[in-house]
Structure 1
Amino acid sequence: MVEKSGRPAYLQIVDELSEQIRTGSLAPGTALPSIAQLCERFDVSASVVKAAISVLRTQGLVIGQQGKGVFVSQAPAAPAEPSPSGEAGQILEQLAQMRQSIKDLGDRLAVLESAVFPERN
């Protein structure tokens, strides 16, 4: 159940599910509980659960498969080669910065949505 702490409910759900993913309680490839099950577990509406899943997708922690469910993303493979230098290294650094920017934008969007649509919390 989410707490009445002032933090949006969907972000509390994101925190709990991402912690379970990080600790391995939800292993890569594991299906998340259904939206209905998550609604019951956290005592929230479906729109709140969907917002949480959207943030988890933006963070790359889960992926959805149409008609099958939402699954924990596979753990990224450890790089087998040394860090590239020169132009390739610069491109990879730019990609890492872009990924972080997209994640930050997703988090900011989630906060804006909670301000604009407070009934979803």
Structure 2
Amino acid sequence: MVEKTGRPGYLQIADDLRSQIRTGALPPGGALPSTAQLCQRYDVSTSVVKAAISVLRTEGLIIGQQGKGVFVREGVAPAAEEPASSEVMEQLAQMRSVLADLGDRIADLEQAVFQERKRAR
């Protein structure tokens, strides 16, 4: 069911279907549920489901076959494992360090500039 979060329903549905594709719950070559089934599952209108399908089609995750249905595009691999959280945390720590260094350098420059102005007065 689509939640009332402020995020459009069609995007919530696209997110859910995308997640199913990435995890392999909807495998490459596999058919998506029919529009009627998706409408019932998410308790939305046909236009909302069609908008979600359009998003996934634009992203290249699915392909429609006239009269047959909508299928997960072949060659769409499940998402690779996320980098280890320690690796991500290390990258964030490095970025914070660089930003702190830049902040210190800017503070030093500002101090030097403003001291020069005080002396000039």
TM over 0.5: yes
- Per mean C-alpha deviation after superposition, the further-off stretch among 10-19 and 67-76 is 67-76
The number of equivalent residue pairs is 77
List aligned pairs for 1:69-80, cutoff 5 A: 69-75=69-75
Tell me the equivalent position of 1:66. Answer: 66
For residues 90-111 of structure 1, what are the alpha-carbon distances to aligned partners after superposition, in whole Å with 9 as ceiling and x for unaligned? Answer: xxxxxxxxxxxxxxxxxxxxxx
Amino acid at match of 1:73: R
Q: Distance in 2 between matches of 1:76 and 1:32?
A: 14
CA shift, 1:27, in A, is 0.1
Amino acid at match of 1:35: T
CA shift, 1:67, in A, is 0.2
Q: Distance in 2 between matches of 1:76 and 1:38?
A: 21
Change (3 A) 1:19 1:76: closer
Q: Distance in 2 between matches of 1:49 and 1:15?
A: 12
The sequence identity of aligned pairs, in percent, is 75
TM-score, normalised relative to structure 2: 0.62
Amino acid at match of 2:68: K
Q: Say if 2:26 and 2:72, in contact at 8 Å, map to a contact too.
A: yes
CA shift, 1:76, in A, is 5.4
Tell me the equivalent position of 2:57. Answer: 57
> 1 or 2 for the larger relative contact order (CA 8 Å, sep ≥6)?
1
Q: Say if 2:61 and 2:76, in contact at 8 Å, map to a contact too.
A: no
Change (3 A) 1:6 1:31: same
For residues 68-118 of structure 1, what are the alpha-carbon distances to aligned partners after superposition, in whole Å with 9 as ceiling and x for unaligned? Answer: 0000001159xxxxxxxxxxxxxxxxxxxxxxxxxxxxxxxxxxxxxxxxx
Q: Distance in 2 between matches of 1:13 and 1:63?
A: 17
- After TM superposition, where is structure 1 displaced by more than 6 Å over at least 4 residues in a row? none
Tell me the equivalent position of 1:33. Answer: 33
Q: Distance in 2 between matches of 1:41 and 1:57?
A: 20
From the CA coordinates, give the structure whose radius of gyration is larger: 2
Stretches of structure 1 that go unaligned for 5 or more consecutive residues are: 78-121
Q: Distance in 2 between matches of 1:28 and 1:49?
A: 20
Stretches of structure 2 that go unaligned for 5 or more consecutive residues are: 78-121
SS of the residue corresponding to residue 32 of structure 2 reads coil
Q: Distance in 2 between matches of 1:12 and 1:51?
A: 11
